[in-house]
């Protein structure tokens, strides 16, 4: 029997105390991380925070294991652990996580090579695997074993890479642990858990995941920006292993109530997608860093300021807000996982929609320049690959289109057949996917879809997108007719629905960058830190809009902040442009401000008399600038 609230409160307090002790010892003995050019912190910060919270987690895990074994076998013996699959798996988790903690602490002290840490991760994974912690995604045991090894290596290193900004790793992992708890509670074997009274221990993933969450919350108090202590590899490697073990379907979480090795192919895929959603941000950040560093011919394992959080800061968000955005994405990933768990027939469209958001966000963040690498610093054999292959083939755009095509095709079948696919229609869908993907992407290429620029999409580009879509769907339909001849399960109506869905998805995806620019730059425009010079733009027409966007996107004008528009047209007054109010000059003059704004005239057709009238309203304190657009010949220097 265990009083869960009391236990969690005691664990939280112990984590705070342990972190305080380690921080004090670090200050006394000089265990601090000094600022470096490729690191984010600017002040000496205490190290070895993992020593403060992992022993608390280990003690809590051993306590839960002892309570479970006593409740199940009335006697805590190793024989009883070996006969209980859940207890055996938890014991292996605690031993393996402890091993990773020791390896991480040694790495903090002696700096191992990446190969050494990978070897240690394989050893720890082997122990957990021997206790029964294996993915059961397919009938092939070899495939399941290899998938399990790659899963642990990927997640452990993803969490390790995520530990690059104050509060990010501890915050994201604690949210992921809460997501695991919610998913486990949805399992039929979880039963009813009453948190306000002593209850028998439910599925062990619930108290273990909550233990991980509360110890990290205790550590997060001191790790939040500006952090006074870092967790180090002793913390990141150990919690990375724990997270990987709890997130995969196994005895500890009753496989999240998901069936394994079923007859439905999509059901087996869902068994892998739901654990991946729990770990949205570690996987997303590692993928982004891996791709961008490979493009720049950098080592993936080296430190740098090119992670997703750094790029968000580069867009104008504060460090704390960047961490909160990524934590919100992590929580949203858990919500999507629960939706997929509860709505298995709609699992693929739900996941696909979330994946589109991640891909668009990744491509957008990939354009943010954080670290500059000169061309001469790149190895020669990488230069043609970066210049010709990765750039000209527009990899991110093609990957996004691949996801969109599959999702729209699946959604078209679901709409055509009433939201549920029979075995016949499912086989037809799976057989049609490669045909539709190849045909549609070929049509996009032939129709010139990839000749445009996302940032400059306009109404004039819509016919080009439509042309590529029609060619692609036409190729796909002709191929299906000639090969499958519309056997049972294939549907001409589904292809028509697919064409409509894909058109709207194609246009929406191309407008996504414009939308993200709007959100990000609007946020930055409203960042009233007092250091920017306020500007009023005279003229809310095309010239005013052009001038406003130039202020937003031109780095040379980053010290200016547009507070509003002035327009003499009464029909425009009271409206908004780019979420900025349009008012008459007299009304702006009555609004008291700490700093007198500058007046930027957006059109050469606005007469000087009107500008002179505005100057009188501000008692000639305004600095006036006028926008000029002219094309002049380029003269040699």
Tens of pLDDT, residue by residue over 365-411, are: 877 766 544 444 444 444 343 333 334 445 667 778 888 888 888 88
Distance between CA atoms of 19 and 25, rounded to whole angstroms? 10
Tens of pLDDT, residue by residue over 69-118, are: 776 654 555 555 555 788 899 999 999 999 999 999 999 888 888 878 88
Q: What's the whole-number average pLDDT of the chain?
A: 80
Tens of pLDDT, residue by residue over 201-226, are: 568 999 999 999 999 999 999 999 88
Extract the tokens encoding 301. Answer: 């394992």
Q: Which residue's entry shows tokens 């057709």?
A: 605
Cα 315 to Cα 113, 358, 363, 367, 527: the distances in Å are 34, 17, 14, 10, 12
DSSP state of 225: S
- pLDDT above 60 for 364: yes
- pLDDT of amino acid 396: 65
Tens of pLDDT, residue by residue over 561-578, are: 888 899 988 888 888 887
- pLDDT of amino acid 615: 87
- pLDDT above 90 for 307: no
Extract the tokens encoding 489. Answer: 């399960």
- pLDDT above 50 for 194: no
Q: Where does the pLDDT of residue 159 fall: very low under 50, low under 70, confident under 90, or very high at 90 and above?
A: very high
Domain boundary residue, one of 350, 371, 392: 392
More confident: 178 or 73? 178
User: Based on the domain organization, do 552 and 474 belong to the same domain?
Assistant: no
- pLDDT of amino acid 262: 40
Task: Give the closest residue to 21 by CA, choosing from 48, 52, 46.
Answer: 52
Mean pLDDT of 556-560: 81
Across the beta sheet with 576-577, the strand order is 576-577, 580-583, 560-566, 533-538, 598-601, 624-626
The bridge status of strand 624-626 relative to strand 598-601 is parallel
- pLDDT above 70 for 266: no
Distance between CA atoms of 529 and 466, rounded to whole angstroms? 44
Domain boundary residue, one of 524, 554, 577: 524
Q: Which of 259-263, 462-466, 527-531, 553-557 ranks highest by mean pLDDT?
A: 462-466
Whether the CA torsion 299, 302, 308, 312 is positive or negative: it is negative
- pLDDT of amino acid 386: 39
Mean pLDDT of 430-459: 80
Extract the tokens encoding 271. Answer: 């068994």
Q: Do the domain assignments include residue 261?
A: yes
Task: Give the closest residue to 162 by CA, choosing from 60, 296, 329, 289.
Answer: 289
- pLDDT of amino acid 392: 40
- pLDDT of amino acid 254: 85
- pLDDT of amino acid 261: 39
Residue 546 CB neighbours (<10 A): 14
Residue 463 CB neighbours (<10 A): 11
Distance between CA atoms of 277 and 404, rounded to whole angstroms? 18
Cα 122 to Cα 88, 89, 130, 154: the distances in Å are 19, 17, 12, 11
- pLDDT above 80 for 580: yes
- pLDDT above 60 for 600: yes
User: Based on the domain organization, do 152 and 139 belong to the same domain?
Assistant: yes
Extract the tokens encoding 363. Answer: 């491509």
Which of helix, strand or coil describes residue 524?
helix
User: Based on the domain organization, do 431 and 562 belong to the same domain?
Assistant: no
More confident: 516 or 485? 516
Our count of domains for the chain comes to 3
Q: Which residues of 19-41 are buried (b: 16+ CB within 10 A; e: fewer)?
A: bbebbeebeeeebebeeeeeebb
Domain boundary residue, one of 338, 359, 392: 392
- pLDDT above 90 for 455: no
- pLDDT of amino acid 106: 93
- pLDDT of amino acid 268: 62
Q: Do the domain assignments include residue 603?
A: yes
Q: Do the domain assignments include residue 632?
A: no
- State which residues form the domain around 267: 4-392
Q: Do the domain assignments include residue 413?
A: yes
User: Based on the domain organization, do 283 and 421 belong to the same domain?
Assistant: no
Extract the tokens encoding 589. Answer: 């003059």
- pLDDT of amino acid 390: 38
DSSP state of 229: B
Q: Do the domain assignments include residue 631?
A: no
User: Based on the domain organization, do 118 and 214 belong to the same domain?
Assistant: yes
- pLDDT of amino acid 304: 65
- pLDDT of amino acid 190: 65
Mean pLDDT of 62-70: 85
User: Based on the domain organization, do 494 and 616 belong to the same domain?
Assistant: no
User: Based on the domain organization, do 428 and 570 belong to the same domain?
Assistant: no
User: Based on the domain organization, do 215 and 119 belong to the same domain?
Assistant: yes
Triad 90, 95, 98: Cα angle to 5°: 120
Tens of pLDDT, residue by residue over 502-556, are: 999 888 888 877 777 766 665 555 544 557 888 899 998 888 888 887 887 776 7
- pLDDT of amino acid 218: 95
Q: Do the domain assignments include residue 635?
A: no
- pLDDT of amino acid 11: 96
């Amino acid at each position: 029997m265990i009083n869960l609230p009391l236990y969690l409160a005691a664990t939280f307090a112990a984590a705070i105390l342990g972190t305080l002790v380690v921080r004090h010892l670090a200050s006394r003995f000089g265990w601090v991380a000094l600022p470096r050019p490729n690191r984010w912190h600017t002040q000496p910060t205490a190290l070895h925070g993992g020593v403060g919270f992992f022993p608390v987690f280990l003690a809590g895990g051993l306590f839960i294991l002892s309570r479970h074994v006593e409740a199940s076998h009335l006697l805590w013996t190793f024989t009883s652990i070996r006969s209980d699959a859940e207890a055996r798996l938890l014991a292996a988790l605690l031993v393996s996580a402890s091993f990773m903690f020791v390896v991480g602490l040694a790495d903090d002290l002696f700096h191992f090579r990446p190969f050494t840490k990978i070897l240690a991760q394989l050893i720890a994974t082997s122990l957990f695997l021997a206790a029964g912690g294996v993915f059961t995604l397919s009938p092939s045991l070899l495939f399941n074993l290899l998938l399990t090894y790659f899963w642990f290596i990927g997640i452990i290193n993803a969490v390790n890479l995520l530990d690059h900004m104050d509060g990010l790793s501890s915050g994201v992992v604690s949210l992921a642990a809460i997501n695991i708890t919610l998913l486990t509670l949805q399992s039929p074997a979880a039963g009813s858990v009453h948190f306000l009274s002593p209850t028998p221990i439910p599925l062990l993933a619930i108290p273990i995941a909550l233990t991980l969450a509360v110890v990290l919350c205790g550590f997060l108090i001191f790790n939040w920006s500006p952090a006074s202590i870092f967790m180090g590899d002793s913390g990141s490697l150990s919690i990375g292993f724990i997270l990987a073990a709890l997130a995969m379907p196994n005895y500890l979480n009753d496989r999240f109530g998901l069936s394994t090795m079923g007859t439905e192919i999509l059901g087996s895929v869902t068994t892998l997608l739901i654990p991946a959603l729990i770990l949205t941000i570690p996987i997303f950040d590692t993928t982004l860093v891996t791709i961008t560093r490979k493009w720049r011919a950098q080592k993936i394992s080296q430190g740098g300021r090119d992670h997703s959080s750094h790029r968000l800061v580069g867009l104008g968000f504060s460090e704390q807000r960047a961490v909160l955005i990524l934590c919100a994405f992590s929580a949203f990933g858990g919500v999507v996982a629960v939706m997929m768990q509860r709505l298995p027939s709609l699992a693929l469209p739900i996941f696909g929609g979330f994946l589109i958001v991640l891909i668009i966000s990744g491509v957008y963040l990939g354009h943010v320049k954080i670290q500059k690498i000169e061309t001469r610093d790149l190895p020669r054999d990488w230069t043609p690959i970066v210049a010709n292959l990765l750039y000209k083939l527009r990899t991110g755009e093609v990957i996004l289109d691949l996801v969109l095509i599959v999702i729209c095709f699946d959604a078209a079948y679901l709409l055509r057949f009433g939201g549920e696919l029979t075995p016949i229609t499912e086989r037809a869908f799976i057989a049609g996917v490669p045909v539709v993907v190849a045909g549609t992407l070929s049509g996009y290429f032939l129709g010139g879809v990839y000749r445009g620029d996302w940032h400059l999409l306009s109404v004039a580009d819509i016919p080009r997108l439509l042309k590529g879509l029609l060619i692609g769907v036409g190729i796909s339909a002709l191929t299906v007719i000639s090969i499958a001849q519309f056997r049972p399960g294939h549907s001409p109506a589904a292809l028509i629905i697919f064409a409509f869905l894909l058109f709207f998805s194609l246009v929406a995806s191309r407008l996504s960058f414009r939308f993200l620019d709007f959100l990000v730059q609007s946020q930055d425009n409203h960042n009233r830190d007092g250091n920017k010079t306020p500007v009023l733009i005279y003229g809310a027409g095309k010239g005013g809009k052009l001038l406003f966007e130039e202020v937003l996107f031109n780095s040379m004008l980053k010290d200016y902040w547009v507070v509003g528009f002035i327009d003499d047209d009464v029909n425009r007054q009271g409206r908004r442009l780019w979420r900025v109010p349009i008012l008459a000059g007299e009304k702006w003059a009555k609004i008291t401000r700490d700093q007198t704004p500058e007046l930027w005239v957006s059109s050469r057709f606005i007469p000087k008399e009107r500008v002179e009238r505005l100057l009188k309203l501000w008692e000639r304190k305004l600095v006036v600038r006028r926008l000029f657009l002219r094309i002049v010949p380029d003269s040699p220097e």
